[in-house]
Amino acid sequence: MEKRRISILGDSISTFAGYTPEEAVFYDSYVQWETGVKSVEDTWWMQVIKALDGELGTNHSLAGSMVSGNLSTSAMSYERIEKLGANGIPDIILISAGCNDWGFCVLPEEFEEAYRTMLHRIKEQYPHADIYCSTLPEGKQPQGETFFNIDSTISKRVYSDIIRENAQKAQVYIADFANVQEEYETVDGVHPNKAGMHTLAQIWIREMKKFICK
């Protein structure tokens, strides 16, 4: 039996040097050393792929990217969506996006339109793929500075609610991190260290198995 091909559409949390576009990698050699995420096997997404006995299709994750913006770097863009099939049509697509929209205070109505557009385009491009969308996870706050000035942003719950509602309308699956309410270890409140990656992977796996086992 052939392994299921799994592609990832994400932001900095899902990058890793040598596996994601080199122009927008967060987990480069320095950050790998700083976070302990030293091998691709330490990333949340590779742990999920291995747990599902799948194989990596394409990971098109870009650090700093948003769903919205209507740019070539936006998760809603045709350019990024088409690249999910660069190594063969995916059987499963994991979407971990929206954190930067929250961090940069994109208006909820703009985010909703962009997220809805993204899902429509992905389903149109890959009609037979199982699509999983994650609501926004909650990172533990470090003792030092945080990555975003979270006190000035709109509640993360607003964006998670939009993701959940639009995933349901599009009839795709949800990995509902917001409802799980389990924090992951971070280096800056957003980016996971090695332990945080493991936590994210375990939540992904538990959430996905709710649907896979049906």
Taken in order of first residue, the domains within the chain and their CATH numbers are: 5-212 (3.40.50.1110)
Contacts of 38 (CB under 8 A, 6+ apart): 32, 194
Query: What was the pLDDT predicted at 148?
Result: 65
**Angle between helix 108-125 and 156-170 (nearest 10):** 30
Query: What was the pLDDT predicted at 213?
Result: 54
Query: What was the pLDDT predicted at 146?
Result: 67
Query: What was the pLDDT predicted at 181?
Result: 83
- Average pLDDT for consecutive 10-residue bins of the chain (214 residues)? 92 98 96 96 98 97 96 97 97 97 94 98 98 96 68 83 98 96 92 97 94 65
Query: What was the pLDDT predicted at 154?
Result: 85
Task: From 98, 93, 81, select the one nearest 155 (Cα to Cα).
Answer: 98
Max intra-chain CA distance, the chain: 50
Query: What was the pLDDT predicted at 82?
Result: 98
The DSSP element (H or E) to which 191 belongs, if any, is: none
For 58, the token pair is 């394409």
* Amino acid (1-letter code) at residue 186: T
Give the Cα separation of 211 and 188 in Å (integer): 32
